[in-house]
Amino acid sequence: MEIVKKVRDGDVRTVSRLIRRLEDQIPEAKDTIKKIFPHTGRAHVIGFTGSPGAGKSTIIDAMIAEFRKRDKTVGVLLVDPSSPFTGGAILGDRIRMQRHSLDPGVFVRSLATRGALGGLSKAVGDAIHILDAMGKDYVIVETVGTGQQEVEIINHAHTVIVVMIPGMGDEIQAIKAGILEIADVFVINKADRDGAGKLYRELMYMLNMANGFPGGWRPPIVRAENMFDAESFGRSLEELTNAINEHYQNLVDQDLLGDRVKRKTMIELNEALHSAILDPVLTALVESGEMDSMADKLLKKETDPYTLAEKVAKQYLSES
Amino acid sequence: MAKRKLRIMVAKPGLDGHDRGARVLARCFRDAGYETIYTGCHQTPEEIAAAAVQEDVDCLGLSCMSGAHRYLFPATVEKLRELGADDIQVIGGGIIPDADYQVLYDAGLKGVFVPGITLDDIIKWINENIVPNMKD
Amino acid sequence: MYFAKELLDKSSKMRQQWEDEVKKSVAKHADLKEDWSTVSSLPINRLYGPEDIKDMNFEEDIAYPGQFPYIRGNQVSGYRGRHWTYRMFSGFGTARDTNTRWHELLAAGQTGLSTAFDFPTLMGYDSDDPKARGECGKCGVAIDTLEDFLVLVDGIPMDKITTSMTINPPATILWAMYCAAAEIKGVPLDRIGGTIQNDMLKEFIAQKTLMCPPEPSVKLISDTVEFGTKHVPRWNTISISGYHIREAGSTAVQELAFTLRDGMEYVEDVMKRKGLDIDEFAPRLSFFFNSHIDFFETIAMMRAARRIWAKAMRDRYNAKDERSWWMRFHTQTAGCSLTAQQPFNNVVRTAIEALAAVLGGTQSLHTNSLDEVWCLPTDFAVQIALRTQQVIAEETGVINTIDPLAGSYFVEALTNEMEEQAWDYVHKIDDMGGMVGAIDKGFPQMELADAAYTFQQQIDSAEKIMVGVNKYVIDEKAEIPLLDIEDRIEKEQIARLNEVKRKRDGKAAKKSLDDIKNACKTGENVMPHCIEAVKNLCSVQEICDVYREVYGVFRDPAMY
């Protein structure tokens, strides 16, 4: 199929348009994904998460440069929140990595969450596959950074990086948020600021308290200082990139790669089932007006949601 | 199938850093329901065109206050053409004397907007003239 | 207590009477609108009386011209002794084009020069750099080397006229060119006077002509302050600017607060980094404000600025010399208040804004031309703008007396309120680690973005009016002649630059660049080396590239 070939050849327009069609949930796009799927599984997927203002984009920009220095190609997905009121979004993370826009080895695409929770959008999972099939060695996904809703990234990434900065109240926040449980590598950005030492110690303390690590991988803490000091910042990025590669190697060595991939596969399968089974039902209910009349009944307290759902389930399940 | 969202990019080509208008527009477009990619200032026409293609935008808005629009806007349109992306519609605004509008239209811009226009008017124009790119 | 108790009691009763009548009147005839606030949305009362300024202390808060806190002016003789300087910002095309316009302006009665550079020069690029394509000479004069600069100042008596240069990241270089040009013309450095804008903090906040990161940018600024203090005593090495902050969308209070806090940041840096005593350099700090369309808000802001700065210098930084307590400022009328629609109305706007600046006590003034919403001004438009200042000075009588609005219940109350709000911002920024810390956190940038968006919405909804834009709109287009900068200028400039590079002593040029690089690395003052370098015909970009190499390039994270 021509589109698949173009994707595998790395045609930028085709790839970006395909992602667009996925975002807009065009049914034909799903067909294309089906054909692309067998060509995926090669790329190392890296998730970047952390509070807004932590400097994820700046780190990613430097990381792209580091990968390119090592002659590797990179695909980047930048996710920003859609306004719950207007449905629009300002996708501005790209600003920080515009210097790579003319590099054919780098593909950067911004996506809006479009109402999805969990820090990502529905299309991101498929977009990762596309960039993978495009031949990118690494696929970086930057999430919205809303703290407690960040965890979805673990379903898509092999390696999850959590970026923090001192003085944002991160210290306490992160411990509560559960983000720390998903981190494979920690980055303390702006580590030359006040409070960096404290943050480092708190993270170390927490890691020391842990009851063992999956695959024996204890998340390293990389400190990135003044981004304008090219030398020292460059060294931190080298350290970070090495840690990322080492983590992937660890997954391979400990035979955990399969687990991660299976986790993503299960999520995808679930979502696909959801799509295939539930979405058409919901659409039918809305179109026939039955959704409205059910809502009406609920408002009048004539029945409860569970009873209604069971009725619908019986009706549709028995029909198939 | 979800409603198609308009993707629009706001960019400042050239050396001019006066971005008040560009940033106001970015917010305005978000409030109008568009997905807006804002690429900041100090971008070359090549960088903007490459980004527009990667982002698959339907419309590219260029802002320039330094008088260099006569070169920069057509150069950007040309770069889009070279990348096979002439279905991306380009509009522009800033400090632009009306004697220059025709030059810009001839170069391929679809709309030129002058200070004093309301945000509503811009949204209205976009809703009427820009269609999300549909083809595969 | 500013007023006697007896008077206040009486006034209170009379005021109550008036308020009761107002209620009745409004019940019959509603006010024309509900919101009565300044263009910055600062709410204004229907009336001000003695009660509104009863807590003022005459000695400490108002006093007299030439007396702390200088709210009524620094100079005891006011404008009778000296008009403000008519200083029209100008520059376009080649150095020769601008030099011609400068001589015309001087002949028309302008008393000081002000230089507008083109974008490549402002950003530290030469006319032949790919980034400069299409920009050469368009919004200011193109200067690549000292040869261009000598043409720019050809025939200008540098010992008699002061020159302001609006230049920021490459300020050291353009100032070095001015100094070198003076030496070549036989004018000693201690005789030249002028200003370089040289205020990087506001670039990070608002204008975005950016090159190096904040910390080294501030270092270069401190170098100029030190050099000026020691060798060029009549030069104002920083023009701490609020104009651009306002143009980028801030409110008047934000302009006031951020500008003054920027000033404080520079003061602290110079003292810390250079070990200078504050009185050695503070008298040469100058400011630059925006005169916007809201008449009284502008006046109050300027008066508040003088008082805040005097207090900061004396009480916060322990300056002892009264000249350190003075705030001296240049003003420009607000570009963002002008409209593209019915452009002749802009003459009226500029006139009112100019009047506000004069009543605010500005030391020098630039008035915008009616066509600047479209492009650079024609001779015709510039003349009107200059004449506006001259009419105010010669015909209106407002300069017969000093600070005529002092004692006005309204103006004093508004000045007090703006000062109070400004101090709040100053302390907030202190808590963020100073202005560099606040910029890093994005605080002033976001304040501006919010204010700009709010204002646009207010205009779109006609909550705030711009005549010709959302009220009294007409369909026809005004046919006004517009200035066209020809594209050929770019080619000419590039040819000139190539010629200079060809015939100069390449070895000497390279050595000067290396000297600058070493100075940057060791923290030595770059200025002497810059002067040497420009004399050896190094170009603006060649020197800026050295800065970029040593200090790094700053990329704007763009807060929206």
Q: Longest C-alpha distance within chain B, in Å?
A: 45
pLDDT of residue C484: 77
- Cβ neighbourhood burial of C27 (10 Å; 0-12, 13-18, 19+): exposed
β-bridge partners, A77: A109, A141
**H helix or E strand, kind and range, residue B38:** strand B35-38
Q: Any CB–CB contact under 8 A between C557 and chain A?
A: yes
Q: Which of A103-112, A292-301, C144-153 has the lowest mean pLDDT?
A: A292-301
**Contact yes or no for B14 and C134 at CB 8 A:** yes
pLDDT of residue B116: 82
Q: In the structure, what pLDDT confidence band is assigned to residue A176 with cuts at 50, 70 and 90?
A: low
pLDDT of residue C375: 78
**Residue-range domain boundaries for chain B:** 7-129
Verify cis geometry, omega within 30 degrees of 0, for the bond prior to C557: no
- Answer yes or no: pTM beyond 0.80: yes
pLDDT at A254 over 90: no
pLDDT at B1 over 50: no
Q: In the structure, what pLDDT confidence band is assigned to residue A149 with cuts at 50, 70 and 90?
A: low
Which of A:19-48 have CB within 8 Å of B?
Answer: 19-21, 23-28
Question: Contact C91/C165 with Cβ under 8 angstroms?
Answer: no
Phi, psi of A81 (to 5 degrees): -75, 140
Q: Crossing angle of helices C252-274/C295-311, nearest 10°?
A: 20
Tokens 């826009």 map to which residue? A101
Q: Over range C85-92, report the average pLDDT.
A: 92
Question: Contact C399/C362 with Cβ under 8 angstroms?
Answer: no
Both structure tokens of C127: 């006319």
Q: Any CB–CB contact under 8 A between A99 and chain C?
A: yes
Q: Over range A239-246, report the average pLDDT.
A: 95
Q: Who has greater pLDDT, A285 or C256?
A: C256
Q: What residues of chain A lie within 8 A of the CB of B56, using their CB?
A: 13, 16-17, 19-20
pLDDT digits (tens, 9 = 90+) for B7-41: 999 999 999 988 899 999 999 999 999 999 999 89
Selected residue of A94, A275, A287 to mutate for chain B interface (largest B Cβ count, 10 A): A94
Report the C-alpha gap between C20 and B135 in whole angstroms: 69
User: Residues with Cβ < 8 Å from C111, sequence gap 6 or more?
Assistant: C83, C85, C86, C87
- How near does any CA of chain A get to the CA of B62, in Å? 15
- Cβ neighbourhood burial of C184 (10 Å; 0-12, 13-18, 19+): middle
User: Residues with Cβ < 8 Å from C241, sequence gap 6 or more?
Assistant: C197, C199, C202, C259, C262, C287, C288
Nearest to A92 among C441, C554, C558 (CB): C558
Question: Contact A251/A214 with Cβ under 8 angstroms?
Answer: no
Which of C:47-86 have CB within 8 Å of B?
Answer: none
pLDDT of residue A34: 86
Q: What residues of chain A lie within 8 A of the CB of C216, using their CB?
A: 228
For residue C196, the SS3 value is strand
**Contact yes or no for B46 and A87 at CB 8 A:** no
A26: left (phi over 0), alpha (psi -120 to 50) or beta: beta
pLDDT of residue A212: 80
Q: What residues of chain C lie within 8 A of the CB of B66, using their CB?
A: 118-119, 135, 138-139
Q: In the structure, what pLDDT confidence band is assigned to residue A119 with cuts at 50, 70 and 90?
A: low
Interfacial residues of B (vs A; Cβ cutoff 8 Å): 1-5, 7, 26-27, 29-40, 43, 46-47, 50-51, 53-56, 83-85, 132-133, 135-136
**Contact yes or no for A229 and C215 at CB 8 A:** no
Chains near A (3 or more Cβ pairs under 8 Å): B, C
pLDDT at C258 over 90: yes
Share of chain A above pLDDT 70, in %: 92
pLDDT digits (tens, 9 = 90+) for A36-61: 888 888 999 999 988 777 889 999 99
Chains near C (3 or more Cβ pairs under 8 Å): A, B
Both structure tokens of B4: 């198609």
Share of chain A above pLDDT 90, in %: 40
User: Residues with Cβ < 8 Å from A316, sequence gap 6 or more?
Assistant: A281
pLDDT of residue A274: 81
Both structure tokens of C54: 């009863």
Question: Contact A123/A22 with Cβ under 8 angstroms?
Answer: yes
Nearest CA in chain A to B88: A13
pLDDT at C558 over 80: no
Report the C-alpha gap between A60 and A83 in whole angstroms: 24
pLDDT of residue A71: 96
pLDDT digits (tens, 9 = 90+) for B61-106: 999 988 899 999 999 999 999 999 989 999 999 988 888 999 999 9
Tokens 């204010």 map to which residue? C451
**Contact yes or no for C482 and B41 at CB 8 A:** no
Question: Contact B80/B48 with Cβ under 8 angstroms?
Answer: no
- ipTM exceeding the 0.90 mark: yes
Nearest CA in chain A to C437: A193
Q: In the structure, what pLDDT confidence band is assigned to residue A153 with cuts at 50, 70 and 90?
A: confident
pLDDT digits (tens, 9 = 90+) for C363-408: 999 999 998 887 778 888 999 999 999 999 999 999 999 999 999 9
DSSP C77-118: THHHH-PPEEEEEE--BSHHHHHHHHHHHHHTT--EEEEEB-
Share of chain C above pLDDT 70, in %: 100
**Contact yes or no for B38 and A91 at CB 8 A:** yes
**H helix or E strand, kind and range, residue A168:** none
Q: Which of A189-203, A250-264, C407-421 has the lowest mean pLDDT?
A: A250-264
Report the C-alpha gap between C67 and C60 in whole angstroms: 10
pLDDT of residue C214: 87
Amino acid of residue A294: M
Question: Contact A153/A182 with Cβ under 8 angstroms?
Answer: yes
Q: What residues of chain C lie within 8 A of the CB of A53, using their CB?
A: 441-442
Share of chain C above pLDDT 90, in %: 88
pLDDT of residue A319: 60
Beta strands B35-38 and B59-64, pairing class: unpaired
pLDDT of residue A260: 77
User: Residues with Cβ < 8 Å from A271, sequence gap 6 or more?
Assistant: A122, A125
Domains of chain A: 40-254 (3.40.50.300), 268-317 (no CATH)
DSSP C80-91: HH-PPEEEEEE-
Q: In the structure, what pLDDT confidence band is assigned to residue B2 with cuts at 50, 70 and 90?
A: low
pLDDT at A220 over 70: yes
Both structure tokens of A301: 């307290």
Q: Any CB–CB contact under 8 A between C397 and chain A?
A: no
pLDDT at C548 over 50: yes
Question: Contact A131/A43 with Cβ under 8 angstroms?
Answer: yes
Alpha-carbon Rg for chain B in angstroms: 14
Order across the sheet with C238-241: list the strands: C235-236, C194-196, C163-166, C112-116, C85-90, C364-366, C329-333, C285-291, C238-241
Q: In the structure, what pLDDT confidence band is assigned to residue C80 with cuts at 50, 70 and 90?
A: very high
* Among the listed residues A169, A159, A122, the one whose alpha carbon sits nearest the alpha carbon of residue A19: A122
Nearest to B32 among A26, A86, A92 (CB): A86
Nearest to A90 among C552, C555, C560 (CB): C560
**Contact yes or no for C555 and A96 at CB 8 A:** yes
Q: What residues of chain B lie within 8 A of the CB of C208, using their CB?
A: 17-19, 41-42
Q: What residues of chain B lie within 8 A of the CB of A82, using their CB?
A: 35
Q: Over range C308-331, report the average pLDDT.
A: 96
DSSP C417-449: HHHHHHHHHHHHHHHTTHHHHHHHHTHHHHHHH
Residue burial C151-180, b: 16+ Cβ < 10 Å; e: rest? bbbeebebeebbbbbbbbbbbbbbbbbbbb
Size of interface A-B (CB pairs under 8 A): 104
Taking domain B7-129, whether its CATH number is 3.40.50.280 is answered by yes
pLDDT digits (tens, 9 = 90+) for C491-518: 999 999 999 999 999 999 999 999 999 9
Q: Over range A52-79, report the average pLDDT.
A: 93
Alpha-carbon Rg for chain C in angstroms: 24
